[in-house]
Amino acid sequence: MQPGMDRKRLLLVDDDIDMLRNMAIMLSLEGYYVMTASSGVAASVLLSEHDFDVVITDLRMPIVDGYEIVRRTKAMRPTSSIIVTSRYLDDETRDWIHSNQLVGLEKPYNVHQLSAMLRNLTESV
């Protein structure tokens, strides 16, 4: 990506440090500006300090979970798109995702799946 071009800003939130690091590297190589948080608490701080085009958060994390990150994102950054991830996308969770107009991605996922979702979301951002 050439200097000066507008890079889409992502916040990637997951308590799986290895996955977080790998996805951040891969998405950075695709031209995104990626910030990471390994907890909901850290994500809340970043949300209060930075604008993001897309927030990608795991739903199940200790203390401040992804459901709370979604609520805080909608309150603090209403124009941000949100992708939620989880190993357990049961019917109730899928209904919650749909009713909140979110995008859901079941784990394990790969960077190609996430990239395709990001392209769809950021084309209109």
Q: Find out if CATH 3.40.50.300 is the number for domain 9-122.
A: no
Q: What is the pLDDT of residues 25-51, one digit of tens each?
A: 999 998 999 999 999 999 999 999 999
What are the C-alpha distances in Å from 36 to residues 18, 26, 98? 12, 13, 25
The string of pLDDT tens digits covering residues 61-81 is: 889 888 899 999 999 999 999
Is pTM beyond 0.75? Reply is yes
Residue ranges of the domains in the chain?
9-122
109 burial level (CB within 10 Å; 0-12, 13-18, 19+): middle
Q: Are 46 and 72 in contact (CB under 8 A)?
A: no
Give the pLDDT score at 2. 41
6 or 85: which carries more pLDDT confidence?
85
